[in-house]
């Protein structure tokens, strides 16, 4: 494995690991404060138990997320010094705001977790809410930095140097709204369905406690809103990419030839050698319509771009299909959930619906990973789109394969331990609920 | 605006050494506590640190963000030349943070507690050592922008006696800060005595490793000692840090919580101030004889301006909330 590929893999692993924790950190505090609010208002002990249960999850995942995030802030320079040299001064501003938001999050999490007896109920509740709000804000800031890599703005590029830096223009680049909207919704959706799914699995395993039912209702009520909104935000992103990064859209769709009335390809395997996408269902004109609002609009194919500037089409196309499939599945589950709550309330916890919720557990996170694959791999070979190539910014330090191996091992162990820890937490929760039933 | 950014950078470094240092030092103390008292020290560390440790470590994020936005030349050169110690530092940061949390939040208290504790304590020492080593490496004059071999480029800057002695110095400094901090968190006499003993032991190690830093700087051809004696302000700062010690002992024995903490914080301040007087504005001394400084590596004005304002506005948000956090958990001790 050469240095570049090893460095890219290390980045992918560190980001792929951190993004899951970031999603949980952005969302679980909201679920926690909803339950906490009901407890403050109704004083039913079950909601206090649920709040405390979820807050332990927040504590564990926030801590892993905070350290993996700290690692990331160094990794950017360790792996891509040729990128940070230019990017730091231009796009550092959202990072400085992210630092502030992250700081507030860390302070508030301390207040919430340990403030049960020390703070008045409403201050305590607000500190919990601020954990979620600052989590979402730091997510938005970081994603706007990534958006800048896709839509560079706020500098003049003269002879391989950046001049006349305008940090505000860089932060509020053309892609920041579509990317940060899509990511924030994704985080809220993925985590809510993940949480609901775990409680659904427990119900299916005959841990028939009221607390799991309440948890499913809170998490799905919250998450389903975002599951329904997400396709709209996705449509917005696609229209944005169609104009700004046509080669990314072409890779996403496995579209090799520029054409009018371009079809939308569902599924299928792109074949870069023969310049066509095999199998898959092709719906004529739909891609043109989705991208430009006109069935006869011309959509650029990969043939418009020199081969060395084309993103790896197979990975991007497949990742996109996975993301969209997961997204629509969750949206459907969300709609079914509201139908059930509205019309067939008594069947809400019937087995088939719990199975649907259980299947949804990993799908949101899978969609997040697949979505980031589309964004990042779809931008290749560039690290700053149309300005600097990834290969030119990689660290000169040899032996990246060791770095990769060490981080793979550490993150693998951490994942296993975190899951094991969750299982122990859940077992303890079930035992405490059993005692109460007795 | 450059000076405002530099002031925030210095404040962040100081607070990271103070608050993060107390946290790392707590792990080191746990590591070197005998078996019989380990459990008690562990509970003390957990209770003292749990609500505030996340916030304490945010200062390193602020430091890194200031470095890569305002001084990209420093950030990228450090990332390349000190790549290996930084990776080890990161592994330590990840392991100790997760081990500390897992230890606290594991629903079942069984043998795994011992493993979490071991990882937490060992990685605390590891991170402190490599943190100090990196600081030493920056000014060792062995970092080069055009390495001719792997050893010269990526190993020699940090594998040398000078950097190793700064690593040891920082370990004892952090353990010293932690023991002063923890003394007043403890309620039983036994543990207090243990911690006062630790504080004294770490002072001794600090003095010894401090002497080593000077001796090794001669051996390794690092111009640290010469520079130090050229700066009366640095000498004065070190003298102040030293003469504060006897006062600290008296106060520690009397049990004046905040006075002892403030004195220890001031001592750290003097030590960092000595370093500042010697090197400011230089940060990386290069083998080539030149340096990368806060002036020659600074980002353009437009960048510094937005960063400066972000830091000013951010500090109006962070400092009051941080103060509130400390007030709730560290100042108002009336409720359990």
Segment B41-63, tens digit of pLDDT:
888 888 888 788 788 888 888 89
Write out chain B residues lying below 8 Å of A106, CB-based. 54-55, 57-58
Of B51, B91, B303, the CB nearest to A89: B303
Q: How many angstroms separate the CA atoms of A138 and A87, rounded? A: 18
A-chain CB neighbours of B66 within 8 Å are 96
Name residues 290-319 of chain B within 8 A of A (Cβ): 299-300, 302-303, 306-307, 310-311, 313-314, 317-318
Quick one: DSSP state of residue A389?
E
Question: pLDDT of A288-312, one tens digit each?
Answer: 888 888 888 888 888 888 988 889 9
Q: Are B59 and B318 in contact (CB under 8 A)?
A: no
Partner residue opposite B299 with nearest CB, options A60, A88, A117? A88
Chain B residues whose CB is inside 8 A of the A71 CB are: 90, 93-94
Closest CB to B79 among A70, A81, A103: A81
pLDDT value at residue B333: 60
CA A185 to chain B, closest CA, distance in angstroms equals 26
Contact B69 A76 (CB under 8 A): no
User: Is residue B266 within 8 Å of residue B244, measured between CB atoms?
Assistant: yes
For an interface test with B, the pick among A78, A145, A148, A164 (most B C-beta atoms closer than 10 Å) comes out as A78
Answer whether B107 sits within 8 Å of A165, measured CB to CB: no
pTM: 0.89
pLDDT tens, residue order, chain A (438 aa): 788 899 999 999 999 999 999 999 999 999 999 999 999 888 888 899 899 889 988 988 888 888 888 888 888 888 998 888 888 888 888 888 988 898 899 889 888 988 888 888 888 999 999 999 999 999 999 999 999 999 998 888 888 788 888 888 888 999 899 999 999 999 999 999 999 999 999 888 877 788 888 899 999 999 999 999 999 999 889 888 888 999 998 888 888 888 888 888 888 888 877 888 888 888 888 888 888 888 888 888 888 889 888 899 889 999 999 999 999 999 999 999 998 888 887 878 888 889 999 999 999 999 999 999 999 999 988 999 988 889 888 888 888 888 888 889 988 988 898 888 888 888 888 888 777 665
Give the DSSP per-residue string, A123-185: HHHHHHHHHHHHHHHHHHHHHHHHHHHHS--S-EEETTEEES--HHHHHT-TTHHHHHHHHHH
Interface A-B, measured as beta-carbon pairs within 8 A, has a size of: 206
**Mean model confidence pLDDT for chain A:** 89
Partners of B68 on chain A (C-beta within 8 Å) are 73, 76-77, 84, 88, 92, 95
Closest-CA residue of A relative to B153 is A397
User: Contact, A320 vs A252, CB < 8 A?
Assistant: yes
Residue B287 clears pLDDT 90, i.e. is over it: no
ipTM of the predicted structure?
Answer: 0.85
Best of A53, A85, A96, A130 to disrupt the B interface (most B CBs within 10 Å) is A96
Task: Give the pLDDT confidence score for residue A438 in this predicted structure.
Answer: 57
Chain B CB contacts of A417 under 8 Å are 98, 102
Report whether pLDDT(B335) > 80: no
In whole angstroms, what is the distance from residue B169 CA to residue B151 CA? 25
CA distance A117 to chain B (A): 8
Question: Does B335 contact A at CB distance below 8 Å?
Answer: yes
Cβ pair B186, B195 in contact under 8 A: yes
End-to-end CA distance of chain B: 45
- Find chain B residues with C-beta within 8 A of A102's C-beta: 58, 61
Closest CB to B107: pick one of A74, A165, A424. A424
CA distances from A396 to A176, B76, B157, B314 (A): 31, 11, 16, 35
Task: Measure in Å the smallest separation between the Cα of A163 and chain B Cα atoms.
Answer: 9
Residue B334: predicted pLDDT: 44
User: What distance in Å separates the CA atoms of residue A26 and residue A372, rounded to the nearest whole number?
Assistant: 17
Q: Which residue of B has its CA nearest to A100?
A: B314
Which of B69, B106, B150 is closest, CB to CB, to A89?
A: B69
Average pLDDT over residues B124-143: 91
B132, B176 contact by CB (below 8 A): no
Confidence of residue B336 (pLDDT cuts 50, 70, 90): very low
Distance CA A26, CA A31 (A): 10
Q: How many CA atoms lie within 13 A of B24 on its CB side?
A: 27
Chain A closest CA to B152's CA: distance in Å?
12
Burial (0-12, 13-18, 19+ Cβ within 10 Å), A251 = buried
Beta bridge partners of A57: none
- The answer to whether the Cβ–Cβ distance between A66 and B54 falls below 8 Å is yes
């Amino acid at each position: 494995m050469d240095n570049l590929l090893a460095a890219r893999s290390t980045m992918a692993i560190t980001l792929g690991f951190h993004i899951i924790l970031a999603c949980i950190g952005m969302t679980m505090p909201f679920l926690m404060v909803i339950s906490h609010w009901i407890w403050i208002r109704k004083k039913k002990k079950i909601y206090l138990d649920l709040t405390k249960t979820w807050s332990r999850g927040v504590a564990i995942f926030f801590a892993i997320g905070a350290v993996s995030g700290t690692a990331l802030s160094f990794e950017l320079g360790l792996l891509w010094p040729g990128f940070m040299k230019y990017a730091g001064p231009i796009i550092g501003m959202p990072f400085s705001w992210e630092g502030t938001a992250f700081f507030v999050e860390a302070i508030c999490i301390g207040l919430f977790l340990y403030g049960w007896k020390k703070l008045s109920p409403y201050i305590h509740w607000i500190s919990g809410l601020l954990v979620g709000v600052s989590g979402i804000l730091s997510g938005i800031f970081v994603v706007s930095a990534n958006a800048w890599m896709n839509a560079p703005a706020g500098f003049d590029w003269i002879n391989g140097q950046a001049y006349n830096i305008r940090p505000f223009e860089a932060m509020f680049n053309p892609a920041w709204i579509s990317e940060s909207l899509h990511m924030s919704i994704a985080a809220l959706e993925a985590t809510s369905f993940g949480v609901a799914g775990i409680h659904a699995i427990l119900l299916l395993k005959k841990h028939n406690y009221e607390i799991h039912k309440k948890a499913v209702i809170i998490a799905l009520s919250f998450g389903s809103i975002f599951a329904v909104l997400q396709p709209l935000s996705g449509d917005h992103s696609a229209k944005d990419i169609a104009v700004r990064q046509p080669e990314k859209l072409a890779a996403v769709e496995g579209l090799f030839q520029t054409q009018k009335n371009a079809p939308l390809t569902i599924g299928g395997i792109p074949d870069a050698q023969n310049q066509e996408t095999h199998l898959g269902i092709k719906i004529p004109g739909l891609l043109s319509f989705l991208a430009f609002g006109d069935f006869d609009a011309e959509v650029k194919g990969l043939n418009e771009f020199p081969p060395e500037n084309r993103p790896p089409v197979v990975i991007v196309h497949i990742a996109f299909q996975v993301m969209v499939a997961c997204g629509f599945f969750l949206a459907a589950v969300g709609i079914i959930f509201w139908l059930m709550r509205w019309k067939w309330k008594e069947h809400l916890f019937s087995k088939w619906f719990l199975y649907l919720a259980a299947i949804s557990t990993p799908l949101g996170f899978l969609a997040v990973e697949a979505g980031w694959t589309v964004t990042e791999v779809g931008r290749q070979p560039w690290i700053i789109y149309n300005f600097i190539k990834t290969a030119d910014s990689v660290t000169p330090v040899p032996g990246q394969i060791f770095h990769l191996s060490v981080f793979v091992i550490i993150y693998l162990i951490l994942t296993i331990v975190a899951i094991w820890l969750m299982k122990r937490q859940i077992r303890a929760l079930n035992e405490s609920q059993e005692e109460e039933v007795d | 605006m450059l000076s405002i950014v530099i002031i925030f950078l210095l404040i962040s470094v100081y607070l990271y050494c103070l608050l993060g240092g107390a946290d790392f030092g707590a792990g080191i103390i746990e590591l070197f506590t005998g078996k019989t008292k380990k459990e008690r020290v562990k509970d003390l560390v957990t209770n003292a640190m749990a609500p505030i440790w996340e916030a304490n470590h945010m200062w390193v994020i602020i430091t890194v963000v200031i470095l890569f936005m305002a001084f990209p030349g420093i950030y990228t050169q450090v990332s390349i030349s000190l790549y290996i110690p930084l990776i080890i530092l990161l592994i330590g940061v990840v392991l100790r943070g997760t081990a500390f949390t897992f230890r606290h939040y594991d629903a079942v208290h069984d043998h795994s507690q011992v493993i979490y504790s071991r990882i937490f304590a060992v990685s605390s020492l590891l991170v402190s050592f490599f943190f100090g080593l990196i600081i030493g490496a920056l000014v060792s004059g062995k970092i080069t922008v055009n390495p001719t071999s792997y050893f010269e480029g990526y190993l020699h800057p940090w594998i040398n006696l000078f950097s190793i002695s700064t690593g040891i110095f920082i370990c004892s400094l952090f353990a010293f800060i932690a023991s002063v901090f923890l003394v007043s968190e403890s309620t039983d006499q036994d543990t207090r005595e243990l911690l006062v003993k630790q504080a004294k032991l770490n002072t001794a190690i600090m003095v010894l490793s401090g002497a080593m830093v000077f001796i090794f700087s001669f051996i390794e051809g690092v111009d640290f000692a010469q520079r130090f004696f050229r700066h009366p302000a640095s000498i004065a700062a070190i003298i102040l840090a030293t003469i504060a010690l006897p006062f600290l002992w008296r106060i520690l024995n009397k049990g004046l919580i905040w006075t002892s903490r403030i004195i220890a914080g001031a001592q750290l301040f003097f030590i960092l101030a000595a370093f500042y007087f010697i090197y400011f504005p230089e940060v990386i001394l290069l083998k080539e004889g030149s340096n990368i400084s806060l002036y020659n590596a600074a980002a353009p004005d437009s960048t510094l301006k937005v960063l400066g304002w972000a830091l000013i506005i951010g500090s109006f948000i962070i400092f009051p909330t941080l103060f509130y956090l400390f007030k709730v958990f560290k100042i108002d001790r009336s409720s359990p």
